[in-house]
Structure 1
């Protein structure tokens, strides 16, 4: 018989054997939880202590941004404190493309407010959908930008900037230049003094949300430093006078272009510099490179007879000549030299050196040049700055061209006596005349008021004074530039009418008409150079085309500067001639005095 345990006995036996098992499970769970807690603590320690900087940088990279703080560019003033270039606040509209595209139905509304094509704007945003920042319109007027922002389109933001504005527009364009959309100087004095004017933008650290909106300013990284102001030597009033008269002359004589430079004879400061054609620096995109070129600084020309006072400086310095002798026979107005006809348009007969200046005789100038030692003549031209930059610091200034003296051939030397075979800029020519005006002392031209540039004496004062006296006869009755006279002032000057270079030689009917003058001659204050390129109507002579421009501008400038007159009751417009003494036995073909330049190619 098989004995089976009682069920109750089995139940009791099972309960007795299961006693320790719940405790083991509890300990196991507690151990697992403890390990998890330790792991969390270790992870927290790793994140917050061991690799804190790494994760902080990662977080910052997603939400912390450095934003520029725009600064105002320095104001440019004329010598009297009138603003010539100022910076005005504007707003640039930018977008977060992904956010804007999420609200694509509002793109037509945005495009209309910005003045853009809706389709092109949507395509532009789609192409940059992986970015958080893209400009839509730069430098809008604040009121227009605010109207865009008031639309409340998600992802559209504004950024404050500054835009350059030029109150005088095209009148001062070539001197000032302009800035680009980022407010950096591109040409002219804006470029030359960019570091001074620009300042240094500030930087602040901000927190942005995932949509790019600034939610908190964290700290100022760099203090903004506004640009410094700049006071120029320019006188805006004289600049306007020069612009107005030059423009009238170009229209009257149907000329291609023109330039005028006015210097303070005592300091070398540029009081005015005008070029035509010109452009509006407030709308640069509408201009051409030719319109933006500062011809007074970058274009070179053969000076023609305006070089003769420099030649005469060398002649007087040599000791071989005085203002009144020796006499020079102009040979009936022609000198056939080495197969070339150097000629005058009139037969001036026998002239003194002063008469050569008065009547602008090419034959006389060539004879004088050939009697001078070549090193002296070359060194004199070089000392007056020809072949070198003036040192004004203006970007792109040309140096001109002067062949080394030892390489001059006889014919080259002869024609250099009346201004061919070398190239100068209008500013170089003005600087040369300013040197004669200030007793032989050269002041490097400057565009900054009160700049202390190093000056140097290059001509003996007595020689400079004699040449100045000789130049007075040019604007006196019988000279080639009576149209350059200024009422109640003595004007010392020189005309120049040069054939323009062309392929294979010189153009027969294309000229550069020039006048260079100093006023008042007895106590020089202003030096002016007028260059008119290729006049086609009425006349092409420097005395008739450029001389009157000089007279009209200087009449106003002298009044504005309150310069005392030095010619009350002496002579004016056909009155008694003083200091001519230049013609000896002259045999003019008629009684009309004109500037004289060679018709044929003067070069060998």
Structure 2
């Protein structure tokens, strides 16, 4: 043993300690390796399906493929409603940059303030999805996408566009922001137009970016195209003339319906007020209604030819039958019925020419109690037109149960009943079509329908010529005259009815007519609602609109003139 440093441990003395340490370390490594192997076995065998599902949930997505909404067209194929591709920008609030500079750039590009953007992000902070701006044009959306901001993504959609704007607004209708029909034809035929969306499986990274399109699950089926019956040339012209008349007379609104006398197809249907379906920022709710189909009103004297048809079907009456209307007024029950003046003896044709309430009353009271009601019912009044249009009115045709004489009388000259402009036009097709009423159609028909024979051809022909006498110079419908064509029609002026009863200074001005008489092609009904400037009589307000619209329509449809002097 050394004196300085003492004795040092020998190799034999340290060996047991080193061997124990070594064995301990080897044991630790073996245990760790066993745990690792066990974990690997657990992950790849026991929990394999669970973990694979969790992984797929974070990378695999099933995306919806939007179905292109079908197009709505006119009878000649002009687009009335089409879908155009747009881009909706959305964001994951949890991924958006937090610094104000990038957020300010994003806010400016979106056309909003930084404060509004921050408030929106804060509101959706716990969510992974929020819209930034919907339905942008691809050109407007691309600069924002080019900024490549974290958390900003694009979603491709479709937006509905209406090329004819307010001219066909109430008929075609509109879709909402999700491209679902809300009004008009868009709503009535939504399932047909919408089609069926498809699905595809895609692979995305953790930021939601597309990595690979894996496979198609279900192919998208585009919506069907729908051809309406309207002729867009006639529609534009009818809307323009109706608007001019409403403005000229400072009226509350107006309606015009033009039907093909042979098929019942609606060639034009215009309403005022209207609205622009492409810009609904200042939408007037009154403009949404397609008044020609959804609104019913008392029609007044335009009903007299239809009521008279019931009398002419009997052996008791003919166009030459004379009725005494003196002294120009009469009492029925507790009511006084008046004519404009004392017309004395009038033929049946004269009753229509002078629009005599007394004459119609005396005729109606000689018929069976339900005769006029039956004829109105046969003409489709009091029943839904069957167009499929949402909200179409049935009008009002009270059941003939224990009717008073005054009720029968008022119904014969158009009071106590309510009809829509479409119902009235359809009823007049019976006069134009040899007694056969054609049901109205808003869709282009592949072939003419059978129609329903509601009056004899003889009666229809008699009425057609009786109505022609009204549309002559110096007659009540003189302002409906169409140069070169023979025209038949009837004027009507009726007090408006509100919840407080008949109004003393508010009227509806009407004209219902047929042209040309030789071979009727179109039936047109015009109604001007509450003309407040100038005249309000149907012959002075509605008849001129009829004359201008029908004259232009006949020329557009290449209908040959049938007036003798025009032909010669």
Aligned with residue 545 of structure 2, among 536, 546, 549: 549
Which residue, out of 250, 254, 273, partners 1:254? 250
Q: What is residue 397 of structure 2 aligned with on the other side? A: 402
CA distance 1:31–1:117, shift in 2 (3 Å):
closer
* Residue 474 (structure 1) aligns with: 470
1:112–1:457: structure 2 CA closer, same or farther, 3 Å change rule?
same
SS in 2 for 1:112: helix
Q: How far does residue 55 in structure 1 lie from its aligned partner after superposition?
A: 2.7
What is the CA–CA distance in structure 2 between the aligned matches of 1:91 and 1:30, rounded to whole Å? Answer: 58
Is the deviation greater in 453-462 or in 527-536?
A: 453-462
Distance 1:418 1:16, change over 3 A: closer
Match of 2:562 among 563, 566, 570: 566
Instruction: Give the 3-state SS of the residue equivalent to 1:318 in structure 2.
Output: coil
Contact 1:277 1:291 survives alignment (8 Å): yes
Q: In structure 2, do the counterparts of structure 1 residues 331 and 210 end up closer, same or farther at CA, with 3 Å as the change threshold?
A: same
What SS does the corresponding residue of 1:98 show, helix, strand or coil? coil
Greater shift in the superposed pair: 405-414 or 383-392: 405-414
Task: Sort the Cα spacing of 1:30 and 1:500 in 2 relative to 1 into closer, same or farther, 3 A.
Answer: closer
Displacement of 1:272 in angstroms is 0.3
Q: How does 1:119-518 map to 2 (within 5 A)?
A: 119-325=115-321, 327-450=322-445, 455-518=451-514
- Comparing 350-359 and 441-450, the one that deviates more: 441-450
Partner of residue 598, structure 1: none
Task: Please give the alpha-carbon distance, in whole angstroms, between the structure 2 residues aligned to 1:143 and 1:58.
Answer: 38
SS of 1:469's partner is helix
C-alpha displacement at 1:571, in angstroms? 11
- 1:354 shift after superposition: 1.0
- Alpha-carbon distance in 1 for matches of 2:113, 2:466: 69
Q: Provide the residue aligned with 2:38 in structure 1.
A: 39
C-alpha change, 1:95 and 1:338, in structure 2 (3 Å) is same
Q: Is the 8 A contact 1:101 1:126 kept in 2?
A: no
Q: Please give the secondary structure, in 1, of the residue aligned with 2:519.
A: coil
Query: How much is the aligned-residue C-alpha RMSD, in angstroms?
Result: 2.7
- SS at structure 1 position matched to 2:470: helix
Query: 1:308 deviation in Å?
Result: 0.6
Q: Distance in 2 between matches of 1:164 and 1:527?
A: 33
| Secondary structure of 1:395's aligned partner | coil
TM-score of the aligned structures, taking structure 1 as reference length: 0.87
What's the offset of the Cα at 1:32? 4.6
Which consecutive residues of structure 1, in runs of 5 or more, have no partner in the other structure? 1-10, 573-604
Secondary structure in 1 matching 2:313: helix
The 1:13/1:168 distance shift into structure 2, 3 A limit, reads closer
Given that 2:231 and 2:268 are in contact with CA atoms closer than 8 Å, whether structure 1 keeps it comes out as: yes
Shift of 1:168: 1.1
CA distance in 2, matches of 1:277, 1:22: 98
Q: 1:26 to 1:238 in 2, by over 3 A?
A: closer
- Counterpart CA distance in 2 for 1:153 and 1:280 is 36
Partner of 2:280, secondary structure, is helix
Q: 1:539 aligns with which of 535, 560, 568?
A: 535
CA distance in 1, matches of 2:200, 2:33: 46
- Tell me if the contact between 1:78 and 1:235 (Cα under 8 Å) persists in the aligned partners: yes
1:285 to partner: Cα distance: 3.2
**Residues 152/410 of structure 1: CA separation in 2 closer, same or farther (3 Å cut):** same
1:435 Cα shift? 2.1
Shift in CA distance, 17/357, structure 1 to aligned 2, threshold 3 Å: closer
- 1:90/1:140 contact within 8 Å kept: yes
Conserved in 2, the CA contact under 8 Å of 1:309 and 1:357?
Answer: yes
**1:204 Cα offset (Å):** 2.0
Distance 1:571 1:214, change over 3 A: closer
Summarize the Cα distance change of 1:29–1:172 in structure 2 as closer, same or farther, 3 Å threshold: closer
Instruction: Give yes or no for contact 1:101–1:125 (8 Å, CA) kept in 2.
Output: no
Task: Give the CA deviation at 1:88.
Answer: 1.4
- SS at the partner of 1:221? strand
Report Cα offsets for 1:348-370 as digits up to 9, x if no partner.
Answer: 11101111111111111111111
Cα distance in structure 2, aligned partners of 1:72 and 1:159: 15
Structure 2 alignment gaps of length 5 or more: 1-9
Report SS of the residue matched to 1:521. coil
Is 2:381–2:394's contact at 8 Å kept on the other side of the alignment?
yes
Change (3 A) 1:180 1:565: same
Distance 1:504-1:83 versus aligned 2 partners, 3 A rule: closer
Change (3 A) 1:323 1:90: same
How far 1:164 sits from its partner (Å)?
1.1
TM score, norm. by length of structure 2: 0.93
CA deviation vs aligned residue, 1:261-289 (integer Å, no higher than 9, x gap): 00001111010000011100101232121
SS of the residue corresponding to residue 371 of structure 1 reads coil
SS in 2 for 1:476: coil
1:25 is displaced (CA, Å) by 7.7
Residue 530, structure 1, aligned to residue 529, structure 2: no
